[in-house]
Structure 1
């Protein structure tokens, strides 16, 4: 069977690329070894948000009296919470199946291996079939990274996948790593009344964020009951007993902490083994496939997008790369993606959303800065909603007014960051944001207020 484009992997990079290619008149096939939608829809972005929503509702019930409400009895059903999450994921995966049919994309179920001469061999229970295409896009994604000293057994020592479907709720949990995945699961289990300890190697949790954001997140999580150990590393684990004993190295020496479960959230490992890269001669470096700005590998006709290439390992990045890749193949005029204007989001409570440079990065780049912060304690909407934790922080170049960075922590900020992304894309200045009327009362007016603070014009502080 000959296609214009074959895509290996159906995550948010692969399936989005397939749909865009079909819109552009290409004959497309997508190869998937498991479920349509990949990790994001089935085991990542979507089901975790369903879990976090259950945690949020449970937190509301716990604090009902803060809102003048009396609820005499309530509890959680952990298995039902997990079940709802799986139902949401299954529904989204079925939605991708519908989109494949709607766009006349052939879905080939099986394990795909790249072959020389622009071919892919697909192995199924029935046997092996070979397909060819003018263009082959690798979008095989990534999985939970395992450290040699923290081997995962899937029961006591787990990755994010098992963390979503534990049969029973653990009484205690150690979370190793405090990136988005670690912090989100720490928040979820803590909200469900599991005792949670975060162990983070770096001096601050959520270490890729602006330091002010990291400090606020640590303060909020500790206030919620999460124990946090920074400048700490798990040296070894012992699973011979009922639970897990972790030997943790700290500045003050080694300590042993115990829990029912240890969740390893120390990053991801790309799925580039055993897919034929060596046979085809596709170049890799440090666990990533090497590509140019439009995702062409060193071998003509082969491309790679998403977690398998350099850049932020985020669903929305993979989707943007997939679209750019197929539009370039189709001969459209395409701008290379600006990786400096990619928003990052963490969906714990409070949420974190950021784009552009941190204050430290902007200073190191030599900019003279105007910085403004607006706390949600001064926001009418946040106070009325009972969510006053957090703030918006904006960073501008003092000389030209360029919006260098925007960092938010608080309720619903992941839905607010797009204003900064669009503003930066359009090369908006601080004064333009300041003079754009924001609705009151909303959380989003905190952006305008933060900009006003940067320029010495803030009203509500």
Structure 2
């Protein structure tokens, strides 16, 4: 059965895909989404939202444990993991319901099946007709003017360590677990690995982080990486760096996983968090002119357009920054470009990069090292959050972290920033606006900030560059 022709068919209903679909609907286009699972994709169901729910519960647990530091006497709290899971699920279901309503309001058709691109045929003179196959074996064709591939990514695995979903697990498994392990090994010290290390260490689980590289390296900054590693180490996380795992030094036992790292460690489970792989297999790309890169991602230009002009791609499948907000932006730019809305080309330098550990980490733009390598003459201004009144109020002790601005000496423009501390994933958005407007350190400093607030520290740093700071 061939459906009426669509202006746009989106493969994948995650945040990149549905954001693109909604933008196309706003432009009065007829749109379809093909999604084999649930609208919202990884971010809503297995990533951003559920993990941050876990982390908030863990932070609250820690806050109550430190109630005495705020002058409050309370009984010993209990971390009730089934209730934590139930809260997470309520949040996900509420947001999922809202998303479904939004898609219906925009009159976007949703096909719950597996989508594959076809070559040119009697139905279309160009490749890109989408075949949708359903679980019962039936299928139908969706002809279109444009296709957006937004099929997302999946956790990468190790060839010698089979995911059995019991001892060797992915992040998907952790979000569905019914009880906490007493110990966990986290293979990979990237964003996903460190967020789970932060969560488990806060709720009393023994945590080992195993990293192949010689050191932890986040957001192009040694200082940021070391600050976070030190904070997690203080909570008991044990880091094992420069460790190349193989079938010779990992053994899956009946009830534990054993690692020979010079000394032997044994944990209840092991999380494989070595990155994510683009979902590009079995979607019919060989029937098109779409180019696949050496990194096994889809090649696009700055407007998300592939070598096949009518086929676009966005989100994790194009392999830039695998972040939900970046994927959403890419999807919107793709739609605006295909329908001649003259979008601003994406600039990955001004995309916020956040890690929701405790303390949080947020960055934007260029690090000092990267700016220098690009020929800028830079000056950095930096201050610890312990100099900020609101940060002192919010923390049970001396607040962790700092804020750092990277500034171009010639123009005074803010080229980048690194923040480590409580709630910095909110404060980075001010700097995102500043960079979008090509703002300067002086403009940041001259904008009045409420007192007391943690973001005052950003104002003070802007003034510090101009030698006008009051409190620094």
* Residue aligning to 2:410: 399
Q: Which deviates more, 425-434 or 262-271?
A: 425-434
CA distance, structure 2, for counterparts of residue 144 and residue 132 of structure 1: 31
Q: Which deviates more, 195-204 or 448-457?
A: 448-457
* Residue aligning to 2:134: 124
* Residue aligning to 2:97: 94
* Residue aligning to 1:192: 203
Show CA shifts across 1:320-378 (max 9, x none): 11111111121112111111111100111101110011122123223222111111111
CA distance, structure 1, for counterparts of residue 343 and residue 76 of structure 2: 57
CA distance, structure 2, for counterparts of residue 146 and residue 426 of structure 1: 41
* Residue aligning to 2:81: 78
1:394·1:454 contact (CA, 8 Å) conserved in 2?
no
| 1:207 partnered with 2:215 | no
SS class of match (1:33): coil
Q: Which deviates more, 202-211 or 48-57?
A: 202-211
SS class of match (1:134): strand
SS class of match (2:147): strand
2:15·2:327 contact (CA, 8 Å) conserved in 1?
yes
**Residue 257 of structure 1, aligned match among 240, 259, 265:** 265
1:234·1:247 contact (CA, 8 Å) conserved in 2?
no
**Residue 383 of structure 2, aligned match among 363, 371, 374:** 374
1:372·1:393 contact (CA, 8 Å) conserved in 2?
yes
RMSD: 1.5
* Residue aligning to 2:58: 55
* Residue aligning to 1:107: 110
| 1:240 partnered with 2:256 | no
* Residue aligning to 2:352: 343
2:219·2:353 contact (CA, 8 Å) conserved in 1?
no
4+ residue runs of structure 1 moved beyond 6 angstroms? none
* Residue aligning to 1:436: 447
1:112·1:123 contact (CA, 8 Å) conserved in 2?
yes
**Residue 322 of structure 1, aligned match among 307, 318, 331:** 331
CA distance, structure 1, for counterparts of residue 74 and residue 216 of structure 2: 35
CA distance, structure 1, for counterparts of residue 69 and residue 236 of structure 2: 18
SS class of match (2:342): coil
1:370·1:455 contact (CA, 8 Å) conserved in 2?
no
* Residue aligning to 1:291: 300
Show CA shifts across 1:276-327 (max 9, x none): 1112342101211111222222223211111001311111111111111111
Q: How many aligned residue pairs are there? A: 456
2:65·2:76 contact (CA, 8 Å) conserved in 1?
no
2:443·2:462 contact (CA, 8 Å) conserved in 1?
no
1:112·1:121 contact (CA, 8 Å) conserved in 2?
yes
Q: Which deviates more, 378-387 or 94-103?
A: 378-387
* Residue aligning to 2:146: 135
1:373·1:454 contact (CA, 8 Å) conserved in 2?
no
Show CA shifts across 1:212-265 (max 9, x none): 1111111111112211222333334211231101234xxxxx443211011111
Show CA shifts across 1:145-200 (max 9, x none): 11223332211111111111112210001111122111111111111110011122
CA distance, structure 2, for counterparts of residue 230 and residue 452 of structure 1: 39
* Residue aligning to 2:229: 218
**Pair 1:310–1:72, CA change in 2 (3 A):** closer
Q: Which deviates more, 375-384 or 64-73?
A: 64-73
In structure 2, the gaps of 5 or more residues are: 120-126
* Residue aligning to 1:251: none
SS class of match (2:96): helix
**Pair 1:453–1:203, CA change in 2 (3 A):** farther
SS class of match (1:296): coil
Shift of 1:16: 0.5
CA distance, structure 2, for counterparts of residue 80 and residue 366 of structure 1: 53
SS class of match (2:143): strand
* Residue aligning to 1:274: 282
CA distance, structure 1, for counterparts of residue 245 and residue 197 of structure 2: 17
TM-score, reference length from structure 1: 0.96
